[in-house]
Amino acid sequence: MKEKIETFMEEVTARNAHEPEFLQAVQEVAETVIPYIASTEIYDGKNILIRMVEPERAITFRVPWVDDDGEIHVNRGYRIQMNSAIGPYKGGLRFHPTVNMSILKFLAFEQVFKNSLTTLPMGGGKGGSDFDPKDKSDAEIMRFCHSFMGELCRHIGPNTDIPAGDIGVGSREIGFLFGMYRKIRNEFTGVLTGKGLSWGGSLIRPEATGYGTVYFAASMLATKNDSFKGKIVTISGSGNVAQYAAEKAIQLGGKVVTLSDSSGYIHDKDGITKEKLSYIMQLKNIDRGRISQYTDKYPTAKFVEGKTPWDVPCDIALPCATQNELNGDDAKTLLKNGCICVCEGANMPSTPEAISAFHKEKILFAPGKASNAGGVATSGLEMTQNSLRYNWTREEVDQKLQQIMASIHASCIEYGIDKSGYVDYVKGANIAGFVKVADAMLAQGVV
Ligand code: GLU
């Protein structure tokens, strides 16, 4: 079996040699899915996985824009349309200087499995730009988004490809993108998700990724008759996912002690309360400040510059910042400090070394494609509401989100449990996500 996986990876590596993050994401899937394919007659010999690692379409385009001083800039725009076997392409847009083909292909590949797990009919895609929104004025952000959509609008549509937000793309950017799509195409349609409430958005969409991550962690803890009550929780990141993961963890009785951004992390031993969290939301979302400013307002907390929060002792760790933010050494520190549960809010935040350390110690570990699927699942619910031309209440959407997270958890157990009763959520998520897409691809033939 090892040889089969190696031969497969050699072929994928030869074709994508300069895409390390993409190869990392593929390797993780190959290790669990290739043995499953080999043991399942209907999939064996059909080259399904090698077809799945090749995007159906990858688009790159020029995004020219003018800054407030009249200077002209050019960024690169992308949309990776990875797989549409079970529904139109669906996945976020990321605006960050690190964006390149490797990052977006890894994200699009993960999205295929994640979207399949949600139980909703959504294929996988991802896009974005190497544009850096940091320190840009609202007018510059608007001009960039308008230029980006000027090209992207040719490739998307409510039945073709429905982008949403990701790092660097929030409600402000979705607004500017939607405005330009509506103008060029002359139609008001659910072509983007994460929209404002008065123009087609869904209640709970902003909260969904963070809430869903905590619902998933709560389900994992419940398998051990445990819960968030009284637990010390460390969270990385301070954007949309981290903020609402913190809010829900606090609601469920956890004590959240850290949040971070690219400059470092804050450690508040007394716990980040609901009130302190509203200060952070104002700071990050409205004032667009840095997390270090938290210590100006709450001087008993400390700011640790240039570090991630994984050396702070905790029971539960929720990595909600970005890919590869938690490495093998961090995993060892977490384990040494008695951490019992790591549940990913970001996409692929744990390195392969970290994941094997968690598996070796048999702690609860959930990969983002399962645990952070609440965001895209609620995007799916936003699409449904757009099609119905109707809005569900907060409670209705939250209840559906909870049902979806419970069903993803159940699928992970179905395919990930071993004889000893230990659940490998990575294996469970990969195989459960694969089966639905593979069945659709088999039914539709070689296209
Ligand atoms: N960017 C989010 C994710 O990684 C959400 C995508 C969406 O809502 O389409 O799943």
376 lines ligand 1 (CB under 6 A): yes
* Spatial distance between the Cα atoms of 112 and 229, rounded to a whole number of angstroms: 34
Give nearest CA residue, ligand 1 atom 5.
376
**Tokens of residue 314, six digits:** 């905790």
Contact 127, 68 (CB under 8 A): no
* Spatial distance between the Cα atoms of 174 and 196, rounded to a whole number of angstroms: 8
379 lines ligand 1 (CB under 6 A): yes
Beta-bridge partner residues of 264: 261, 305
Number of helices (H) and strands (E) in the chain: give both, helices first. Answer: 16, 12
pLDDT of residue 402: 98
User: 375 alpha carbon to ligand 1 midpoint, in Å?
Assistant: 6
Contact 374, 399 (CB under 8 A): no
For the CA of 165, the closest atom of ligand 1 is 1
Spatial neighbors of 295 by CB under 8 A, at least 6 apart, are: 266, 301, 302, 303
pLDDT of residue 274: 97
Strands 341-343 and 316-319: parallel
* Spatial distance between the Cα atoms of 339 and 221, rounded to a whole number of angstroms: 12
User: 81 alpha carbon to ligand 1 midpoint, in Å?
Assistant: 14
213 lines ligand 1 (CB under 6 A): no
Average pLDDT over residues 361-383: 98
Helix (H) or strand (E) holding 78: strand 72-83
Average pLDDT over residues 391-412: 98
Contact 221, 341 (CB under 8 A): yes
pLDDT of residue 405: 98
User: 48 alpha carbon to ligand 1 midpoint, in Å?
Assistant: 24
* Spatial distance between the Cα atoms of 398 and 392, rounded to a whole number of angstroms: 10
CA 294, 166, 34, 2 torsion-angle sign: negative
* Spatial distance between the Cα atoms of 190 and 192, rounded to a whole number of angstroms: 6
Active site residues: 126
pLDDT of residue 196: 98
Strands 72-83 and 302-305: unpaired
User: 166 alpha carbon to ligand 1 midpoint, in Å?
Assistant: 6
Instruction: Identify the CA nearest to 129 among candidates 92, 182, 83.
Output: 92
Neighbours of 240 (CB within 10 A): 27
Instruction: Provide the 3-class DSSP secondary structure of residue 285.
Output: helix
Question: Terminal CA-to-CA distance of the chain, rounded, Å?
Answer: 28
pLDDT of residue 238: 98
User: 114 alpha carbon to ligand 1 midpoint, in Å?
Assistant: 9
Spatial neighbors of 441 by CB under 8 A, at least 6 apart, are: 48, 51, 52, 85
Confidence of residue 24 (pLDDT cuts 50, 70, 90): very high
Confidence of residue 280 (pLDDT cuts 50, 70, 90): very high
**Best of 114, 379, 397, 404 for a ligand 1 pocket test (most atoms within 8 Å of beta carbon):** 379
**Best of 173, 209, 322, 382 for a ligand 1 pocket test (most atoms within 8 Å of beta carbon):** 209
pLDDT of residue 118: 98
User: 69 alpha carbon to ligand 1 midpoint, in Å?
Assistant: 34
* Spatial distance between the Cα atoms of 164 and 83, rounded to a whole number of angstroms: 17
Kindly give the interhelix angle for 101-117 and 374-388, rounded to the nearest 10 degrees: 70
Task: For 400-421, give the secondary structure using H, E and C.
Answer: HHHHHHHHHHHHHHHHHECCCC
Kindly give the interhelix angle for 240-251 and 274-281, rounded to the nearest 10 degrees: 170
375 lines ligand 1 (CB under 6 A): yes
202 lines ligand 1 (CB under 6 A): no
Average pLDDT over residues 134-162: 98
* Spatial distance between the Cα atoms of 61 and 181, rounded to a whole number of angstroms: 16
CA 278 remoteness from chain centre: 23
Average pLDDT over residues 394-412: 98
Q: CA separation (Å) from 199 to 40, 181, 191, 291?
A: 46, 13, 12, 31
347 lines ligand 1 (CB under 6 A): yes
* Spatial distance between the Cα atoms of 376 and 111, rounded to a whole number of angstroms: 9
56 lines ligand 1 (CB under 6 A): no
pLDDT of residue 148: 98
88 lines ligand 1 (CB under 6 A): no
What single letter denotes the amino acid at residue 67?
A: D
pLDDT of residue 191: 98
Contact 321, 291 (CB under 8 A): no
Give nearest CA residue, ligand 1 atom 9.
91
User: 379 alpha carbon to ligand 1 midpoint, in Å?
Assistant: 8
For the CA of 115, the closest atom of ligand 1 is 10
pLDDT of residue 201: 98
pLDDT of residue 313: 98
Sheet holding 316-319, edge to edge: 302-305, 264-267, 255-261, 232-236, 316-319, 341-343, 364-366
Average pLDDT over residues 310-328: 98
Confidence of residue 331 (pLDDT cuts 50, 70, 90): very high
378 lines ligand 1 (CB under 6 A): no
Mean pLDDT taken over the chain: 98
Helix (H) or strand (E) holding 278: helix 274-281
Contact 228, 414 (CB under 8 A): no
* Spatial distance between the Cα atoms of 426 and 432, rounded to a whole number of angstroms: 10
* Spatial distance between the Cα atoms of 393 and 97, rounded to a whole number of angstroms: 37
- DSSP letter at 125 equals E
Contact 366, 215 (CB under 8 A): no
147 lines ligand 1 (CB under 6 A): no
User: 91 alpha carbon to ligand 1 midpoint, in Å?
Assistant: 5
**Best of 112, 166, 207 for a ligand 1 pocket test (most atoms within 8 Å of beta carbon):** 166
241 lines ligand 1 (CB under 6 A): no
